[in-house]
Chain A
Amino acid sequence: MAMTFVWTGMVVLSLVFGAVFGRLDAVANAALEGAQSAIQLSLSMAGILCLWSGVMEVMNVSGLSAGLAKAFRPFLRRLLPNACQDTETLAAVSANVSANLLGLGNAATPLGIRAARRMAQGCYGVASNELCLLVVLNTASIQLIPATIASVRAAAGCETPFDILPAVWFASVLSVLAGLSAAWLFSHWGKRK
């Protein structure tokens, strides 16, 4: 439903601004061109996107993501000490983090939900500090290879679509750290009151 408001808002604002600035011809053309460019974009993205989904599948089946999940356990035990006493929650959370890292969004969400459900037991609908942390961790992107973005860059005519990798890693790490420290700060604030 939220997207209905966003879409309607954009179209109505375009109409109003176009009428005020006398740009209605351009707006009308842009609507048709935009729809066409969506198909062009999708077609030029398709190759990289499919190749990458294939690579992900190989990583998943070969047990590479499971190995990565194991490597994360010590870190997660520190971050979520209460929840990770339950081995099944720990397994789900670590698999969730490793799927996120590899860009397996479709696999990460059900794993994260399984962990969130177990952590929500006995909370009576109120999120615990650790559950907030888990969700914040999932709202901050931690992808190693952002394949979709690379495919959009390639579609726009970029010759080295992956050269932004170090910049993406740098920004992701800062964003995750900011999210975790904000969650930690806010939870301590709550206690003092």
Chain B
Amino acid sequence: MNWSSLVIPLLLAGIALYGTGKRMDVYAALTHGAEEGLTVLLRVVPALVGLLTAVSMFRASGAMEWLSDACSPLLGLLGIPPETAPLMLVRPVSGNGALAVASDLMASHGPDSYIGRVAAVMLGSTETTFYTIAVYFGSAGIHKTRHTVPAALAADLSGFAAAALAVRLFFGT
């Protein structure tokens, strides 16, 4: 048994008990939330259709390989597998795009391969940086963002390198 198999049942039971202890209708909240999940999914599907089309074409044409090869000397220094270069380029710009590229990587290399795992951890440890910056500063009326962009990109780059390092540490290559 994998220890992570304990996390989900424990979490579900814990939350159910906690909510019941607070005398709330846990089941109604659960189904209401699931309904919201469906609306979120509905908004993601059209983007995924567009993006997975482009990503598959990009891979089939050999452009993806070329991009990975072009980035591999630099990425080698950071210990990042070059196959994930397209994911790193898309990640700060588009969350759905990153999801499409990562799922393409997992499908072609396998979800439990080194590259598949690194792609998953990269996706989990970084955010859609430029989108977030635009939303926050846009609504706060800030036009001089000063050092926000370089600092946020430093966080992304360290997140990518840390993702590869973490997978090597916890799973090996």
Contacts and interface: CB of A to CB of B under 8 A. Distances in A.
Contacts, number: 351
Interface string B33-72: 1111110110011001111111111111111001000000
Contact of B59 (A30, A62, A131): A30
Interface string B98-121: 011011001100111000110011
What secondary structure prevails in chain A residues at the interface with B? helix
Contacts of A113: 135-136, 139-140
Contacts of B50: 7
Interface residues of B, number: 103
A141 B127 contact: yes
A53 B62 contact: no
Interface in B126-168: 126-130, 132-133, 135-137, 139-148, 150-152, 154-159, 162-163, 165-167
A153 B106 contact: yes
A42 B41 contact: yes
The 8 closest A-B pairs by CB, nearest first: A57-B33, A179-B155, A53-B37, A34-B56, A175-B159, A186-B147, A178-B158, A30-B60
27 contacts: A6-B97, A17-B66, A23-B62, A41-B103, A49-B41, A51-B34, A51-B37, A64-B18, A113-B135, A117-B139, A117-B140, A125-B144, A136-B152, A139-B132, A139-B156, A140-B126, A141-B127, A145-B11, A149-B124, A153-B106, A164-B121, A167-B121, A167-B167, A171-B163, A178-B157, A179-B154, A187-B146
